[in-house]
Structure 1
Amino acid sequence: MKTRNERKPSTTKRMIIMVGIVGLLLAALIGWNILGKIMGQKAAANMPVPPQTVTSMKVTTQSWQPEQSSVGSLRAVQGADLAFDVGGVVTAVKARSGQQVEKGQTLIELNADDIVAERRQLEANAALLKLNLDRARKQLSYKGISQAEVDTAEANYKAAVAGVSQQQALIDKRQLRAPFSGRIGIISLTPGSYVRAGDPVVTLQRLDPVLVDLNVPQDKLGEIKTGQAVVLSLDSFPDHPFLGEVTAISPKLDPATRNAQVEASVPNPEELLKPGMFARVAVQVGEQKSYLTLPQSAITFNPYGETVFLVKPSTGKGADGKSNLPSAQSVFVTTGAKRGDQISVLSGIKEGDEVVTSGQLKIKNGTPLIIDNSSMPPDDADPTPQEK
């Protein structure tokens, strides 16, 4: 009878054999998978690539005006919220809301009956003192009185005239006059309304021209000069650009933002532009330049570079006698400035090349292409929001 120690080697051999069998099975399974993949890849390589539908366009050269874009706020070349220096009751409103008024025109009057009465009293006293002064001068001519008495009469008369002028100034404070020509705003006062001193009662704005305030970053300030043309775009008038020019550049920068304030003047004969409006401002800097341009949708941006797909024309007919489709070819490009939906291309393509503008995600080098330009991507130099 075999002992326990004699049976142990036989068990170990059986385990080794079983492990070997399992290893052979795994190796066979892995090999089968690898072989299947290789055969699948060969079959896929031999299968024709299905064509893909894309849009395309010819590369063209366009002249671009270099611009600096910013946002600005409009203000009147002259504008003020008018108020009375004194309080009182309104007796007359002599202008209409929104009316064009001239400099010095009376707009609103306050009650000044008591002051007018005092002025008349002072005028009467001044007239009397003027008669006394005339008599004193005649008496002096034949030595009837001394020079001192004439001087006293003259001083009294001048003091009376000054009193009349002072009283007239008090009356004028109760008349609100236009300090410059312009258009007034809404007048909500009516006769009988009480006005407190210092409370704004109506706005007056000179609207032609209007000024635009915009901020320019420190690194772009060197390109801005007075006299340069500016173009304003407003949501209120999407199809109506407004042209003006740079009139002033602030001599100091805001230390918090490092921006400089720039002022532009824009003619406004139709008074379409109003103070307080928001506007997009493009300052035209430098000379016009010619660029090869594409829609931004045509560029594929990658970590290793920017690419486009060229449409390569077919080389002839296939084995079935039908014409071959054009194919895609990827090329690297260098891009530059952007303008609206467009982007400039500095190198990598030439004028006249046909470039895929949409559908790049479903193609690769050599993919046959079906060109369908019935729906093209946006290619607007100055796009505006579209209401739907």
Structure 2
Amino acid sequence: MIRTSLSSGWPLVAAALLVSAWLVAPGAHAQERVPVIASYAELRPWSDPLEALGTLRADESVTLSATMTETVAELNFQDGEVVEAGQLLMRLEDSEEQAQLRAAQALYDERRNAFSRATQLQQRNLGTRAELEDSQARLRQAEAAIEEIQARLANHRLRAPFDGVIGFRNISAGSLVTPGTELLTLDKLDVVKLDFRVPEVYLAALQPGLRLTARTDAYPDETFSGEIANVGTRIDSVTRSVTVRAILANDDMRLRPGMLMEVVIQRRPRDTLVVPESVLVPRGERHYLFVIDEADDNRLERREVVVGERRAGEVEILEGLQAGELVVRHGVQRARDGDQVALLGIADDETAVRDILQRQRPTAAPDASAKGGA
């Protein structure tokens, strides 16, 4: 009898426990909120990138050469020296021209005195008008001779045509140079030109003043900024591309002519609504995201949006969202329309999702054995 009563009582106990679990479970589940991390939708500068490869050129560049056959008498520069416009860089031997100049100046002084005497005689009516005019012509002839010699002397002196940096010095004092001999190079590098080619289909989007960024393997961790200065007037009939020239500031002169640079042109610059790409929930060709209504105790609203361009980790929202709205960034997989969520934190440029998750981790309990040993 005892066995019969026990066996008949167990189904009742099991049923009671099952009902209790059913009654308690819905309430407990209703109180549990899905933890999420959110981000604010923000208006940010945006552009459509266009990539190209370009080559750097100096803002001004020249190779100075000799115009006569002569020996080098004086060098006033060193490799890599920064020089100013008009600075004397080199002097060729000019002793013969200097002697000719002294003789011409002596002749000029003689004829100037003769012209002065002829003028005085003319004023006293003791000289003829013809003698005065002949004396004046001889004086002008002497002046022209001096100017000719001074011009030849100027060819013996090599001066910097603009501010710049000297290249390597490959010549020494006493070297014999001939017309056309390359003596030195001079580059103006405080500003550099960046030339690159762009397919003609993008011609309508190119215009002077358009911003761009450039990178080079020589400085892999740095980005250089500039803007388009000019767009070529001709399309290459073979490559169907147009040459574009940009200007980059180079105050520290780290960029050098001939460098290969990766160029990213910022087309169609604008301010647009931007959210992290991780907030999107794709469904076929449509895109959704979850908006958190802070006024309604963090209740979720699934909303369809129209996306635009994308870039690393971010996406442009064209329709369906307003600036300042809070969207679910982490925990999207467990989010449901109409649910109320537990907001763990807001991720932004200064606070990453990983930082928020690490703060939510429970602190490890102290080791029991270590506590007992203490």
* Category of TM-score, reference length = shorter chain: 0.5 to 0.7
**Cα gap change, 1:59/1:70 in structure 2, threshold over 3 Å: closer, same or farther?**
farther
Aligned residues: 269
**Is residue 85 from structure 1 mapped to residue 85 from structure 2 by the alignment?**
no
- Alignment deviations for residues 203-255 of structure 1 (CA, whole Å, 9 cap, x no partner): 11111111111222111011112111111111111111111111112222223
| Aligned with residue 227 of structure 2, among 220, 242, 245 | 245
Q: Is the Cα–Cα contact under 8 Å of residues 274 and 314 in structure 2 kept in the other structure?
A: no
- Partner residue of 1:266? 248
The amino acid across from 1:212 in the alignment is L
Shift of 1:271: 0.7
- Partner residue of 1:94? 76
State how far apart, in whole Å, the 1-side matches of 2:273 and 2:331 are.
Answer: 19
Shift of 1:338: 6.2
Shift of 1:152: 1.2
- Partner residue of 1:124? 106
- Partner residue of 1:280? 262
Listed as ranges, the gaps of 5+ residues in structure 2 are 1-36, 287-305, 319-326, 334-353, 355-374
The amino acid across from 1:196 in the alignment is T
Shift of 1:188: 1.9
State how far apart, in whole Å, the 2-side matches of 1:116 and 1:231 are.
Answer: 54
Shift of 1:65: 3.0
| Aligned with residue 230 of structure 1, among 183, 203, 212 | 212
State how far apart, in whole Å, the 2-side matches of 1:73 and 1:226 are.
Answer: 18
- Partner residue of 1:135? 117
State how far apart, in whole Å, the 2-side matches of 1:102 and 1:216 are.
Answer: 36
- Partner residue of 2:88? 106
State how far apart, in whole Å, the 1-side matches of 2:206 and 2:271 are.
Answer: 16
- Aligned 1:1-388 pairs, distance under 5 A: 64-286=46-268, 287-290=270-273, 339=311, 352=329
**Cα gap change, 1:351/1:92 in structure 2, threshold over 3 Å: closer, same or farther?**
same
- Alignment deviations for residues 345-378 of structure 1 (CA, whole Å, 9 cap, x no partner): 999xx9648799xxxxxxxxxxxxxxxxx9xxxx
**Cα gap change, 1:231/1:99 in structure 2, threshold over 3 Å: closer, same or farther?**
same
Runs ≥4 in structure 1, deviation > 4 angstroms?
58-64, 288-295, 334-340, 342-347, 350-356
Q: SS in structure 1 opposite 2:195? A: strand
State how far apart, in whole Å, the 2-side matches of 1:289 and 1:72 are.
Answer: 29
| RMSD, matched Cα | 3.4
The amino acid across from 1:220 in the alignment is Y
**Cα gap change, 1:255/1:151 in structure 2, threshold over 3 Å: closer, same or farther?**
farther
TM-score (normalizing by structure 2) = 0.63
State how far apart, in whole Å, the 1-side matches of 2:105 and 2:173 are.
Answer: 29
State how far apart, in whole Å, the 2-side matches of 1:351 and 1:84 are.
Answer: 72
Shift of 1:151: 1.3
**Cα gap change, 1:142/1:222 in structure 2, threshold over 3 Å: closer, same or farther?**
same
State how far apart, in whole Å, the 2-side matches of 1:148 and 1:254 are.
Answer: 69
State how far apart, in whole Å, the 1-side matches of 2:97 and 2:316 are.
Answer: 78
The amino acid across from 2:78 in the alignment is R
Q: Is the Cα–Cα contact under 8 Å of residues 92 and 156 in structure 2 kept in the other structure?
A: yes
- Alignment deviations for residues 28-61 of structure 1 (CA, whole Å, 9 cap, x no partner): xxxxxxxxxxxxxxxxxxxxxxxxxxxxxx9988
**Cα gap change, 1:97/1:306 in structure 2, threshold over 3 Å: closer, same or farther?**
farther
Q: SS in structure 1 opposite 2:97? A: helix
**Cα gap change, 1:254/1:79 in structure 2, threshold over 3 Å: closer, same or farther?**
same
Q: SS in structure 1 opposite 2:150? A: helix
State how far apart, in whole Å, the 2-side matches of 1:151 and 1:351 are.
Answer: 100
State how far apart, in whole Å, the 2-side matches of 1:274 and 1:100 are.
Answer: 14
- Alignment deviations for residues 236-291 of structure 1 (CA, whole Å, 9 cap, x no partner): 11111111111112222223322222211111111111111111111111125456
**Cα gap change, 1:345/1:223 in structure 2, threshold over 3 Å: closer, same or farther?**
closer
State how far apart, in whole Å, the 1-side matches of 2:130 and 2:168 are.
Answer: 58
Higher Rg of the two aligned structures: 1
- Alignment deviations for residues 117-163 of structure 1 (CA, whole Å, 9 cap, x no partner): 11111111111111111111111111222222111111111111111
Q: Is the Cα–Cα contact under 8 Å of residues 181 and 206 in structure 1 kept in the other structure?
A: yes
TM-score (normalizing by structure 1) = 0.61
Q: Is the Cα–Cα contact under 8 Å of residues 276 and 329 in structure 2 kept in the other structure?
A: no
- Alignment deviations for residues 300-332 of structure 1 (CA, whole Å, 9 cap, x no partner): xxxxx999xxxxxxxxxxxxxxxxxxxxxxxxx
**Cα gap change, 1:184/1:69 in structure 2, threshold over 3 Å: closer, same or farther?**
same
Shift of 1:106: 0.7
Shift of 1:294: 5.8
State how far apart, in whole Å, the 2-side matches of 1:115 and 1:185 are.
Answer: 30
The amino acid across from 2:195 in the alignment is D
